Structure 1
Amino acid sequence: MKRIIALGIALVVATTLTGCGAVSAVSSPDHTASDAPNVVYPDGYGPDATTEPADPEPTDPESADPEPSTPEAGSLENPFPAGYTATISQNDEDYYTVTFTLVAADGDKKIAAANQFNDRPPHGYHYVIVKATFTGLSSEAVDPGVEMFDWQVADQDGNLYQSASVVTDEESLSGSPSLYKGQKFTGVEVYTVPDSTTTLYMSALGSYLAL
């Protein structure tokens, strides 16, 4: 298998201060009950309260908004940078590395000049030319032309596009030799993408590399 981290309430108590600063209770035959200060108690408090006020609902720390996290490296939101060398492993052993270079974001003229029998891209599409350099890392043979079936061009929305069958004026990956440990091969691959494409990536095994 191939694979590429406390709520509080304040109560106001009315007191009368004597001239010497002591707190005393003052009564007078000239004062009636109607002269007593009008103390307003919050709901659930005071001399006439019959039930205990409800405690505030506890706050669940897990319900708070989580801190934003950085998208995983190699994802569409955080792709590996242009020129990044990807290492592909197979059966828990390093199999090969590959580095991609964008040759032409709009390669229509280059493809037309390479061979008069090359078809024009469909209406609303254009050719993209990508160069790939493979390096073998295993004692088992690596065929870049076969491995390129795993790789596709992706756009800014993650849509994937297959390679196109055209002739180029540079060596194609389809004619690559088998590579063993330490051996390298560089070739080009051509893709057809919509004219609305604004960003290009190479994608394989769920990872994205910027072009």
Structure 2
Amino acid sequence: MKSSTAAIPLAAALLTLGACGLGSEEPDTEAPADTATADEAAEEAADETADGPDGEAEVEPAGERGSRANPLALGESIEGSDWVVIINEVQFGADEQVAAENQFNEPPPEGHSFVLIDVSATYTGTDSEMPMLGTDIAWVTSSGETLGSSDAFAVAPDAFDTTRELYEGGSETGNLVIAVPEDDEGLIRVRLGMFEREEAFVAPR
């Protein structure tokens, strides 16, 4: 009888320890990671980067500054190895001014009108040079044709002297006259140097 009575407290103790062990394990209540939500967030971040913070599509750069796709503005300097040129101002519809400058000036061709381009050129080389050797300024039409002042057969008022010899620091300012198609949305092209030429385009308006 003693052995059976002693076994009862031992069994109770084992049951108590077992219950404590089971109760100490906390249930796993953490929800599994929502992979779909994470993927959606990544896609939204990628879309925001592509479209910009306001949700609007970002505009790709039009091209290098000074290119035909992204021309310079009036008054900006164009620098080469020996010359610095600035297109100061452009006057459209200058037929009367050109006609009054010289009685031998021919009128522009039909469908064209004269444009006066006010140019400043400064020589920065170490020797001396004339603008006609180191600079070239032309009009490039919206359809891609190139027109120069030599095509106009006219003398411009306050003309830019392309034959004036300049030493380092010397400059020349004046007008070039070019006959361009009426209402043409062309650009002014500036080239500097005789061999390794720098080139830039300027919006005339």
How would you bin the TM-score normalised by the shorter chain? 0.5 to 0.7
How many Å separate the matches in 1 of 2:134 and 2:153?
Answer: 17
Structure 1 position 162 matched with structure 2 position 148:
yes
Q: Highest Rg: 1 or 2?
A: 2
Question: 1:75 aligns to what?
Answer: 67
How many Å separate the matches in 2 of 1:203 and 1:155?
Answer: 14
User: Given that residues 127 and 193 in structure 1 are in contact (C-alpha distance below 8 angstroms), is that contact kept between their aligned partners in structure 2?
Assistant: yes
Question: 1:6 aligns to what?
Answer: none
Q: 1:171 aligns with which of 140, 159, 174?
A: 159
How many Å separate the matches in 2 of 1:121 and 1:76?
Answer: 26
Provide TM-score, normalisation by structure 2: 0.60
Q: Where does 1:73-112 land on structure 2 (aligned, <5 Å)?
A: 73-89=65-81, 95-112=82-99
Q: Counterpart of 1:139 in 2: which secondary structure?
A: coil
Name stretches of at least 5 consecutive residues in structure 1 with no aligned partner. 1-64, 90-94
Name stretches of at least 5 consecutive residues in structure 2 with no aligned partner. 1-49, 51-57, 192-197
How many Å separate the matches in 1 of 2:90 and 2:108?
Answer: 17
Q: Letter of the 2:98 partner, please give it.
A: I
User: Given that residues 159 and 176 in structure 2 are in contact (C-alpha distance below 8 angstroms), is that contact kept between their aligned partners in structure 1?
Assistant: no
Question: 1:209 aligns to what?
Answer: 202
Q: Letter of the 1:138 partner, please give it.
A: G
Q: 1:127 aligns with which of 93, 109, 114?
A: 114
Q: Letter of the 1:77 partner, please give it.
A: A
User: Given that residues 103 and 129 in structure 1 are in contact (C-alpha distance below 8 angstroms), is that contact kept between their aligned partners in structure 2?
Assistant: yes
Shift of 1:157: 4.1
**1:35-72 C-alpha deviation (Å, 9 max, x unpaired):** xxxxxxxxxxxxxxxxxxxxxxxxxxxxxx9x864111
Question: 2:183 aligns to what?
Answer: 196
Runs (4+) of structure 1 moved beyond 4 Å? Answer: none
User: Given that residues 84 and 121 in structure 2 are in contact (C-alpha distance below 8 angstroms), is that contact kept between their aligned partners in structure 1?
Assistant: yes
User: Given that residues 201 and 210 in structure 1 are in contact (C-alpha distance below 8 angstroms), is that contact kept between their aligned partners in structure 2?
Assistant: yes
**1:93-148 C-alpha deviation (Å, 9 max, x unpaired):** xx010111234111111111111221111101111111111111111212113334
Q: Counterpart of 2:128 in 1: which secondary structure?
A: coil
How many Å separate the matches in 2 of 1:107 and 1:143?
Answer: 27
Q: Letter of the 2:77 partner, please give it.
A: T
How many Å separate the matches in 2 of 1:130 and 1:147?
Answer: 18
Question: 1:38 aligns to what?
Answer: none
How many Å separate the matches in 2 of 1:151 and 1:106?
Answer: 19
**1:139-166 C-alpha deviation (Å, 9 max, x unpaired):** 1212113334x32112334432111231
Q: Counterpart of 1:173 in 2: which secondary structure?
A: coil
User: Given that residues 66 and 202 in structure 2 are in contact (C-alpha distance below 8 angstroms), is that contact kept between their aligned partners in structure 1?
Assistant: yes
Shift of 1:206: 4.3
How many Å separate the matches in 2 of 1:169 and 1:68?
Answer: 42
How many Å separate the matches in 1 of 2:186 and 2:145?
Answer: 11
Aligned length, in residue pairs: 139
